[in-house]
Amino acid sequence: MSKKIAVLTSGGDAPGMNACVRAVIRSGIKSGCDMYVIYDGYKGLVEGKIEQVDRNFVSDIINRGGTILRTARLPEFKEDAIQKMAVKQLSDYGIDSLIVIGGDGTYRGAAELAKKGVHTVGIPGTIDNDIASTEYTIGFDTCCNTICECVDKIRDTTTSHQRCTFIEVMGNKCGDLALYSGVAEGVEMIITPDDPIEDEKVFEKLKSLKGGKKKHSLVIVSEKIYPNIFEFVKKVTEKTGIETRAEILGHLQRGGSPTSKDRIEATRFGIAAVQAILDGESSICLGLHNGKIRRINIDEALAMKRPENHELLEAIKLVNR
Ligand code: F6P
C-alpha cells in the first residue's frame, strides 16, 4: 500500500511556501506516495479540509507569494480534544504522515500530533528567521529585499527634505529583518531586541549626525521596540529639533514573488521532508546548518535558544558613521 502524506502551511505566510508545497507534492508523487493538501493550516485540518492532489495541482506556483493552501492561526490547537479531532480527520483519509511548513507555533502542533501517532516533519517557513534550530527560514530573503525596495524609496524623500525617518519592520521578537535590511541599506541606526538603544542615546546620535555633512538619516527599528513609533518620533523631533517621520512597513513585507534563494531553499526543504518521512522519521524538523539540511527532534529544536546576532552589527560600525 502506498504511503499517504499530507502537507499544510500554518502561522504567518511567507514567500517561498508555495515552492515548498510544490516540492513536497512532486517529490512525494515521484516516490510513489499518495499526496494530500490541507487548507487553512491546523484549523482546516480539524475541520477536514483535506484533498488528494496530483502533480498538476502545484503547476505555476513556484513564483507565487503567499500560500495557495492558505494559512491560519489556531491557538486552541494546544487543547488535547482539538488535537484528537485532527488525528481523527487524518485517519479517516488513511493519512499517517504530515509535513507542516511554518514557525515555532507550527512545530509545537506537529510535536503534539506526533505524540498521538502521526509521523510529522516541520519545515521552517517564516519571514522572521526566528527559529533557533535553523540558520535560515523560507521567506526571509524575499522579505529583506522587499524592505530594501521600500527603504530605497523612503530614502529619496527623506534626503530631499533633509529629515530623519524611522522605519519599523516585522520580525516578531527577532531583530534579523531589521539587522540585515539595515546593513543592506547602510542606514544610520539599527535598533533591534538584541541591540536596543536608550532613548537619550538615540537623540544624541541623531543630533551629532545632523551637525555633520549629512543632513538626513534613516533608522530601521524592529517591531515591538516602541509601543507607538509615531509617538516616539514626535519625541525625537522635540528633543533634537530634527523633523522626524515614521513608517510602519506592515504586511506588505510578507507578500511578493519569492527570490531565487527562497525558491531554491524551499525546494530543498520540501524534498528533504518527504525523504525524512520515507526514512521513517517522526517528530522532527529540518534546519539549515552550514548550508546543509539536518534533521532535529522537534522538542529539542523548540528548547534551543537563538544566539544573539551582534557580530554583523559590530562589523558595520567600521563602515557606518
Ligand atoms: O511571524 C510573521 C509575522 O509577520 C511577524 O513578523 C509579525 O509580528 C506577525 O507575523 C504578524 O502577524 P499577523 O499577520 O497575524 O498580524
Asked if residue 126 and residue 30 are part of one domain, the reply reads yes
Angle, to 10 degrees, between the axis of helix 260-278 and the axis of helix 17-30? 40
| From 40, 74, 127, 180, mutation site for ligand 1 pocket: most ligand atoms within 8 A of C-beta | 127
Max CA-CA distance within the chain? Answer: 74
Residues spanned by the domain of 172? 141-254
Asked if residue 294 and residue 262 are part of one domain, the reply reads yes
Instruction: Convert the pLDDT of each residue in 117-148 to its tens digit.
Output: 999 999 999 999 999 999 999 999 999 999 99
Q: Does residue 307 register a pLDDT over 90?
A: no
Asked if residue 131 and residue 12 are part of one domain, the reply reads yes
Q: What strands lie across the sheet with 164-169, from one edge to the other?
A: 189-191, 217-222, 164-169, 244-248
pLDDT at position 321 is 67
**Atom of ligand 1 minimally distant from the CA of 130:** 1
**Atom of ligand 1 minimally distant from the CA of 11:** 1
Asked if residue 265 and residue 127 are part of one domain, the reply reads yes
Instruction: Convert the pLDDT of each residue in 42-57 to its tens digit.
Output: 999 999 999 999 999 9
pLDDT at position 317 is 80
Q: Does residue 72 register a pLDDT over 70?
A: yes
Q: What is the DSSP letter of 306?
A: P
Residue nearest to atom 2 of ligand 1 (CA): 12
Segment 70-90 mean pLDDT: 96
Q: How far apart are the first and last CA of the chain?
A: 65
Instruction: Convert the pLDDT of each residue in 274-301 to its tens digit.
Output: 999 999 999 999 999 999 999 999 999 9
Has residue 118 been placed in a domain?
A: yes
CA of 128 to the centre of ligand 1 (A): 8
Any ligand 1 atom below 6 A from CB of 127 = yes
Residue nearest to atom 3 of ligand 1 (CA): 12
Q: Does residue 316 register a pLDDT over 90?
A: no
Asked if residue 135 and residue 63 are part of one domain, the reply reads yes
| CB neighbour list of residue 142: distance below 8 Å, 6 or more residues apart | 14, 15, 16, 65, 127, 256, 257, 258, 259, 262
Looking at the structure of the chain, the number of domains it has is 2
Instruction: Specify whether the CB–CB gap between 130 and 171 falls below 8 A.
Output: yes
Asked if residue 223 and residue 108 are part of one domain, the reply reads no
CATH number for position 11: 3.40.50.450
CB atoms within 10 A of CB 314: 9
CA of 55 to the centre of ligand 1 (A): 31
Percentage, residues of the chain above pLDDT 70: 100
**Atom of ligand 1 minimally distant from the CA of 73:** 15
Task: Indicate the pLDDT class of residue 215, thresholds 50, 70 and 90.
Answer: confident
Q: Does residue 104 register a pLDDT over 90?
A: yes
Task: Indicate the pLDDT class of residue 320, thresholds 50, 70 and 90.
Answer: confident
pLDDT at position 315 is 82
Asked if residue 236 and residue 180 are part of one domain, the reply reads yes
Q: Does residue 258 register a pLDDT over 80?
A: yes
Distance CA(23)–CA(99), nearest Å, equals 12
Asked if residue 78 and residue 162 are part of one domain, the reply reads no
pLDDT at position 319 is 78
Distance CA(52)–CA(35), nearest Å, equals 6
Q: Measured in whole angstroms, how far is the alpha carbon of residue 141 from the centre of its chain?
A: 9
Distance CA(321)–CA(319), nearest Å, equals 7
| CB neighbour list of residue 114: distance below 8 Å, 6 or more residues apart | 120, 282, 283, 298
Task: Indicate the pLDDT class of residue 176, thresholds 50, 70 and 90.
Answer: very high
What average pLDDT does the chain have?
96
Has residue 61 been placed in a domain?
A: yes
The radius of gyration of the chain's CA atoms, rounded to the nearest angstrom, is 22
CA of 34 to the centre of ligand 1 (A): 33
Asked if residue 218 and residue 203 are part of one domain, the reply reads yes
Asked if residue 195 and residue 103 are part of one domain, the reply reads no
Residue nearest to atom 12 of ligand 1 (CA): 12
Q: Does residue 314 register a pLDDT over 90?
A: no
Has residue 82 been placed in a domain?
A: yes
pLDDT at position 311 is 84
Any ligand 1 atom below 6 A from CB of 126 = yes
Has residue 75 been placed in a domain?
A: yes
**Atom of ligand 1 minimally distant from the CA of 128:** 6
Distance CA(7)–CA(287), nearest Å, equals 18
128 in active site: yes
Residue nearest to atom 14 of ligand 1 (CA): 12
Asked if residue 134 and residue 24 are part of one domain, the reply reads yes
Segment 27-35 mean pLDDT: 98
**In whole angstroms, how far apart are CA 8 and each of 50, 109, 111, 203?**
10, 12, 15, 46
Distance CA(15)–CA(25), nearest Å, equals 18
Residue nearest to atom 7 of ligand 1 (CA): 172
Q: Which entry of 40, 128, 176, 262 is annotated as an active-site residue?
A: 128
Has residue 15 been placed in a domain?
A: yes
Residue nearest to atom 15 of ligand 1 (CA): 12
Has residue 308 been placed in a domain?
A: no
Catalogue the E-assigned strands of 45-130. 50-52, 97-102, 119-124
Any ligand 1 atom below 6 A from CB of 172 = yes
Asked if residue 264 and residue 119 are part of one domain, the reply reads yes
pLDDT at position 213 is 82
Has residue 107 been placed in a domain?
A: yes
CATH number for position 243: 3.40.50.460
Task: Indicate the pLDDT class of residue 308, thresholds 50, 70 and 90.
Answer: confident
Has residue 312 been placed in a domain?
A: no
Which residue among 229, 254, 279 closes a domain? Answer: 254
